[in-house]
Every structure is written in structure tokens, then in C-alpha cells.
Copies of this chain bind each other. A is one copy, B any other.
Amino acid sequence: MAPRKQQEIFDATLWMVAEKGYDGLTVEGVAERSGVNKTTIYRWWPSKAALLGAALVESDVLAFEPPDTGSFRSDLVALVEQVERLLTEPPGSDIAVAALAAAVRHPELDARRFFADRFARERVVFERAVRRGELSGSADPLLIMDLLAGAVWMRTVLRGMPLPDGFAKKAVSALLDTF
């Protein structure tokens, strides 16, 4: 089941969070902007966070296609670059940063689901690498992704610093090569 103007509602939601941040996102605003009554929104989503969560999942702002470049190393670089893009290029970045930072305090927003989905698709890169013999079967893909993606989050979102050129390559190299 879905409200008749679901698409308009999601659009308004994403536009609003991108424009004014998570705190500036209001159900009332979304209702007005999407030509829907506030009640209708509450009929379908229990909270602002849930609404945003649904909008994010349904939207393609966070869409993501795992790379398949032929080599494990360059696949990894591509993965990191995708995270970079997500966190830095507007409007996706505003949405991602605002929404996911907010997710911390709002389990309903279900950041978990987003990250789990994403990891499920990133995983194939590792499976291919194992199949190709580029990676030991005992390697821990989740750990590797946490290290790499986490580095991008740290640098951009938490430290609020710009990413230097070649960050992805350097990060992957720090992992795969010996110091």
C-alpha cells in the first residue's frame, strides 16, 4: 500500500532535507510542498525520521552499482570513490550527511538497513577477488569496507576536511601494501 502522491512526498522530503538540513526538515513543510495534507503523511509514516528513511531508500540518490574493473585493487579504489562521491557531491551529499548523521539517534530511520544493503552489494567485489585468487578466503570484507569507507567518513564528515586528490588510491594502498 502506498499513498497516492508518494513520489511527490518523497521528492519534497529529499529536497527539503538537502535544502535545510535534517533539523529544517518538517512534516508540515513536506506536506505543503507536496500538496498533501499533514494527516496523510502521518497515516503512512510514524515520524519524520521514518519518512526520510523511506524517501532515501526509495530514491536513487543513494543508488549504487558495484564496480567490476577486473582487478581487486581497482575495484576497491572505485568503491572508495563511490563513497567519496556520495559524501561530497551535492545534492546527495547534503542528504546523505544530514540523514545519516541523524540516523544515529533514530533507529527507525534505519541507517542499518542502508548500510547492510550497500554492503551486500559491495561484497560481490570481494567474492570475485577470492574467485580470481586475488584475495584469501579468510579475509574479512566487512572489516575492509569499514576501514576504507570509514576513512572517507572520518575525513569529510567528522573532520570536515576536503579530500585530497588520490585519496581513494592512497587509502587502498595503505591497506594492501606494506608500509
Structural contact, B159 and A175, CB atoms closer than 8 A: no
A 132-163 binary contact with B (CB < 8 Å = 1; else 0)? 00011001100111111111111101111100
Structural contact, B98 and A158, CB atoms closer than 8 A: no
A 52-70 binary contact with B (CB < 8 Å = 1; else 0)? 0000000000000000000
The number of times this chain is found in the oligomer is 4
Q: Bound complex: CA of A97 vs CA of B23, how far in Å?
A: 17
A 167-179 binary contact with B (CB < 8 Å = 1; else 0)? 0001100111111
Given A135-B179, A148-B147, A175-B175, the answer on whether A158 and B102 have CB atoms closer than 8 Å is no
Minimum distance in angstroms from A16 CB to a CB of chain B: 13
Q: Bound complex: CA of A116 vs CA of B155, how far in Å?
A: 11
Structural contact, A155 and B159, CB atoms closer than 8 A: no
8 A-B pairs with C-beta separation under 8 A = A102-B105, A104-B157, A112-B160, A136-B179, A143-B151, A147-B175, A150-B152, A153-B154
A binding-site residues for B, Cβ under 8 Å: 21-23, 97-98, 100-105, 107, 111-112, 115-116, 135-136, 139-140, 143-155, 157-161, 170-171, 174-179
